[in-house]
Amino acid sequence: MRIVERRNGLVGLLVGLALFCVALPASAQHARLKLDHLEKLSAKAVEVNNVTLDGDMLQLAAKFLDMDKDDPESGQAKNLIKNLKGIYVKNFEFEQPNQYSAADVEEIRTQLAAPGWSKIVENRDKRANENNEIYVMKDAHNNIAGIAILVAEPKELTVVNIVGPVDLDKLSALGGKFGIPENKEKEHPKKKDITGGVP
Amino acid sequence: MCTYKCLHSNCVFLRIVLPEGALSAEPEARMEMVLRRASQGDQRAFAEIVREHQGMVFSIGWHFFADRALAEDLAQEVFLQLYQGLPAIQSTSHLTHWLRRTAVHRCIDHSRRKNFRRESPLEEMQEIATGTAPADSFLHERLRQTVAQLPEKQRMVVLLRYQEELGPGEIAELLNMPVNTVKSTLHRALEELRGKLTRKLKEARYAIF
Amino acid sequence: MQFSEDDLRAALRRKDPGEPFTERVMAHVIQRQARVTAAPRTASRLGELWHRRWLRPALTGAVAAMLIVGGSLGFLHYRNVQRWREGEAAKQQALVALRITNAKLNHVIERVRTSQAP
């Protein structure tokens, strides 16, 4: 009996260890959201910012940012992204309100209801018809493994998904040109679809 | 009704204080860095210089000739000339001064070579007169067109005074003219503008009615 | 017809020709940079050498070798230019992403602050 118990105990320990090892990298996978269903909104938007940056391209971006040693903006950006696994941004601006549906946003919330994600900020303004949410995913060591920002405004929908150890303090404290939209051609809007890789 | 909830027990994030001012360098110091890099052959830095100053260079040509394509061509030549002579540019203020001077002289040279003169056709004036544009933009459009019809010297003095906001001394230095000549040229230009505008509006009214 | 100095200033306000203009200027800059002009002195000297028969095989071999090396270098240069372009594009994407993220994050903070205000 004792030998069987010991064997069961050992097997249990090994299974637990295997699961733990699988769970660590898997958290990075779970932190990535599926946002393909939003592609259809590009046709209705007057301005689209679509960024998919991961793997080699993200490392290349960090390298090129590092080369701009004199540029403070590039320096801040490089420090932020150097340890990330992926940056995914979908931003759609519409001329009229109600160009995206609640279902479009709900599909993202369903993913964010999965284990691992925690909602840390929720702000709803019924008068302005605006919902703002911020989620984080933490790893086994309680460090941030990913964030998701969901800003649903009447004429604009933004989803930001960053996979990896992102520093929220640094992200919101970016100075200089950050935070000021590139709006040179606001009178003549155009679509910018950047999907990783040279066109 | 606006509701807020912090659902995380350790909401450190919400105590983030936005910085009072920008963390990056002052704009002028930043441009000095960009200029230095461009002088060393950094094409990205040169592109930034182009973006920063293309409005000024293009507008001098555009308001002088009232011809967008020509203004773009001249502006392009100015920047290509700048690219060749970048190492000689000592500071951002020198850069602005150099670009302005080069743009102005290119416009004058081109105008003398081509004996450039532009007259607005009556049809165009009618369109503007009967359009639904608000009164002030109609006036501004007419002003732009009329400025482009002034004699070359008057045109440039008006541009430098009202587009570039230069004083008579600076205009005199740029155009190699005595200061008093600048002042009298400006005075005559404004008289000419008033006269031309009044005449054109009378013509337009007759055309409509 | 009366107009003020402010009317003139407004009428003659600077206009930006936009990003297409910048791209055209840079395209010309890159073209000029890439232009290689062969020195006329070199060409006439090579002509003199070619007239000496015993040098012809050596010259032919040298030219062939230069073409192969030049071709490889050209290809490498092309790959480097491609890689540079990819890197630049990736860098711009990263900056766009961070700008939007920063803007939206601060938007949410502001909304939260406003809702907390008495």
What is chain B written as a DSSP string? -EEEE---TT-GGGG----SS-SSPPHHHHHHHHHHHHHTT-HHHHHHHHHHHHHHHHHHHHHHHS-HHHHHHHHHHHHHHHHHTGGG--SHHHHHHHHHHHHHHHHHHHHHHHT------HHHHHHHHHS---HHHHHHHHHHHHHTTS-HHHHHHHHHHHTS---HHHHHHHHT--HHHHHHHHHHHHHHHHHHHHHHHHHHHHHH-
Lookup result for tokens 């008033």: B194
Mean pLDDT of chain C: 79
pLDDT greater than 90 at residue B106: yes
Residue from A112, A118, A121, A130 to probe the interface with B (highest B Cβ count within 10 Å) = A121
Judged by DSSP in three states, C14 sits in: coil
Q: Which of C102, C109, C112 should be substituted to probe chain A, the one whose Cβ sees the most A Cβ atoms within 10 Å? A: C102
The predicted-structure confidence for B32-77, as pLDDT tens digits, reads as follows 889 999 988 888 999 999 999 999 999 999 999 988 999 999 999 9
Which has more pLDDT, A181 or C98? C98
If pLDDT is split at 50, 70 and 90, which confidence band does A100 have?
Answer: very high
Residues 155-174 of A with CB under 8 A from C: 158, 160, 162, 168, 171-172, 174
What is residue A182's predicted lDDT score, i.e. its pLDDT?
Answer: 40
Task: Identify the top-confidence range among A83-92, A169-178, C29-38.
Answer: A83-92
Average pLDDT score over residue span A98-118? 92
Q: What is the mean pLDDT of chain A?
A: 78
Instruction: Determine the Cα–Cα distance for residues C53 and B135; give it in Å rounded to an integer.
Output: 84
- pLDDT band for position A126 (50/70/90)? confident
pLDDT for A184 beyond 80: no
Q: Which chain B residues are closer than 8 Å to C17 by Cβ?
A: 54-55, 58, 71-72, 75
Nearest in space to A89 (alpha carbons), one of A53, A142, A124, A63:
A53
Binary contact (A173, B24; C-beta < 8 A): no
For the record, the structure tokens of A72 come out as 């403070």
Half-sphere exposure of A150 (CA within 13 A, CB side): 25
What pLDDT is recorded for position A185? Answer: 36
- What is the ipTM score, two decimals? 0.74
- HSE at residue B172, side-chain half, CA atoms within 13 A, is 11
In the prediction, which pLDDT does C110 show? Answer: 82
Euclidean distance between CA atoms B68 and C15, whole angstroms:
11
Report the C-alpha gap between B200 and C1 in whole angstroms.
10
- Residue A165's nearest CA partner among A143, A135, A134, A136 is A143
Least Cα distance to B111 among B77, B66, B161, B144 occurs for B66
Flag whether pLDDT at B102 surpasses 50. yes
* Cα–Cα dist A136/C94, whole Å: 20
pLDDT band at A55 (very low <50, low <70, confident <90, very high): confident
Q: In chain B, what residues touch A128 (CB-CB under 8 Å)?
A: 2
Q: Which two tokens stand for residue A186?
A: 């606001």
How far out from the chain centre does Cα A155 lie? Answer: 21
Q: A40 and A94 in contact (C-beta within 8 Å)?
A: no
Which range (A22-31, B47-56, B188-197) has the least confidence?
A22-31
Confidence of residue A163 (pLDDT cuts 50, 70, 90): very high
- Res. C98: pLDDT tops 60: yes
Q: Measure the CA angle with vertex B168, ends B167 and B169; round to 5°.
A: 90
**Chain B, nearest residue to A123 by Cα:** B4
> Running DSSP on this structure, what letter comes out for residue C51?
T
Q: Which residues on chain A are in Cβ contact (under 8 Å) with C108?
A: 121, 123, 132, 134, 149, 151
Mean pLDDT throughout C85-111? 85
Contact between B58 and C17 (Cβ < 8 Å): yes
Stronger pLDDT, A66 or B182, i.e. the higher one: B182
Q: What is the pLDDT of residue B191?
A: 92
Read off the pTM.
Answer: 0.45
Task: Name the H helices within C12-55.
Answer: 19-34, 40-50
Q: Which candidate, A153, A150, A123, places its Cα nearest to that of A136? A: A150
The number of domains in chain C is 1
SS (H, E, C) chain A: CHHHHHHHHHHHHHHHHHHHHHHHHHHHHHCCCCCHHHHHHHHCCCEEEEEEEEHHHHHHHHHHHHHCCCCHHHHHHHHHHCCCCEEEEEEEECCCCCCCCHHHHHHHHHHHCCCCEEEEEEEEECCCCEEEEEEEEECCCCCEEEEEEEEEECCEEEEEEEECCCCHHHHHCCCCCCCCCCCCCCCCCCCEEECCCCC
Least confident interval from B6-10, B109-113, B166-170:
B6-10
Domains of chain B: 29-114 (1.10.1740.10), 122-208 (1.10.10.10)
Most confident range (mean pLDDT) of B16-25, C40-49, C79-88 is: C79-88
- DSSP conformational letter for C54: G
d(CA B92, CA B97): 9
Q: Residue A181 above 60 pLDDT?
A: no
For residues A34 and A88, give the distance between their C-alpha atoms in angstroms, rounded to a whole number. Answer: 10
- pLDDT at B134 exceeding the cut of 60: no
Identify which has the larger pLDDT, A144 or B119.
A144
CA pair distance A146, A85, nearest whole angstrom = 9
pLDDT at A8: 64
Residue B93: which pLDDT band, with cuts at 50, 70 and 90?
very high
Structure confidence at residue A110 (pLDDT) = 93
* pLDDT of A174 above 70: no
The predicted pLDDT at position A69 comes to 63
The rounded distance, in Å, linking the Cα atoms of B127 and B15 is: 58
Question: Are the CB atoms for C96 and A194 separated by under 8 Å?
Answer: yes
Lowest mean pLDDT among A91-105, B55-69, B193-207, C5-19: B193-207
Query: Which residues, at least 6 apart from B202, have a Cβ–Cβ distance to it below 8 Å?
Result: none
CA gap B122, B207 in Å, rounded: 8
Per-residue confidence band for C56, with pLDDT thresholds at 50, 70 and 90: confident
Measure the CA–CA gap between B76 and B26, rounded to whole angstroms. Answer: 28
In the numeric block, which tokens belong to residue A93?
A: 């601006």
Comparing A178 with B48, the larger pLDDT belongs to B48
d(CA A173, CA B20): 10
Position A28 confidence tier, pLDDT thresholds 50, 70, 90: low
Contact check, Cβ <8 Å, C114/B80: no
Sign of CA dihedral A124, A130, A131, A134: negative
**Interface test with chain A among B23, B33, B42, B51, by most A beta carbons within 10 Å:** B23
Residue A103 exposure: Cα atoms within 13 Å on the Cβ side: 3
CA distance A38 to chain B (A): 27
Q: What is the pLDDT of residue A70?
A: 63
Mean pLDDT calculated for residue range C17-35: 86
Asked if A57's CB is within 8 angstroms of C86's CB, the reply is yes
Residue-number span of the structural domain to which C80 is assigned = 5-116
| Mean pLDDT within C92-113 | 85
Taking 50 as the threshold, does the pLDDT of residue B209 lie above it? no
Question: Which range is most confident: A19-33, A63-77, B80-94, B193-207?
Answer: B80-94
Checking if the pLDDT of B117 tops 90, the result is no
